[in-house]
Amino acid sequence: MAKCSNAQDYNIYQASDAVMLQVNDNMRIESRLQRVVIALSNNSNQLSVRLNIPYPLINYTPPDNTMPSSAGLLFNLKINISLWQIQDYLTSAKTFVTQGFLTLNNTTNAVKVQYIPLPAGTDQDGDFKLSMVIQFNADDFNLDNAHPDSQFIIKINDATVNRV
């Protein structure tokens, strides 16, 4: 007997690209991040942002040194959003400022998140896209030994919100 399931693997979601900016004193380094996945559970108001930050982009060496250089740290951000507010302001270009909880390098901390919902599809289906700015400090997640006071800013533009 076979059963069908509605669960989706993050590998088959529609992904977007992002830009990560590292700022430290008068140094600025911009890097492109690929395969950013934004998912919204239909059963809750929790938005999830997942991506992989390659180790070389943050000058980080894994503790066991067995990981290939192409590997990276899993970036997992959870944000509570209000769908009715998003629908009310969908065409207004309103910027929402909130706090999300980022898990990175086996550490979870609150981070500042700004997002702008953008219309996608028809008004009846309630779909939307997001542009986001996520800010966090390297020191809060034990990153970047060369510059522990670095601030990272991840910018995501016009990203598809995948419904779970």
Residue extents of the structural domains in the chain: 14-163
| pLDDT at residue 93, rounded to an integer | 83
Query: pLDDT tens digit string along 93-127?
Result: 889 999 999 999 899 999 999 999 988 866 556 67
Please report the pLDDT score of residue 4 as a whole number.
43
The CATH code of domain 14-163 reads 2.40.128.110
pLDDT of residue 31: 92
Q: What is the amino acid identity at position 148? A: P
Predicted local distance difference test score (pLDDT) of residue 69 = 40
Long-range residue pairs from 133-140, CB within 8 A, at least 24 positions apart, any chain: 134/49, 134/77, 134/100, 134/102, 135/111, 136/102, 136/104, 136/109, 136/111, 136/112, 138/58, 140/107, 140/109
Which stretches of the chain drop beneath a pLDDT of 50? Answer: 1-10, 69-70
Q: Does the pTM exceed 0.85?
A: no
pLDDT at 38: 93
Structure confidence at residue 125 (pLDDT): 63
Residue 156 confidence (pLDDT)? 96
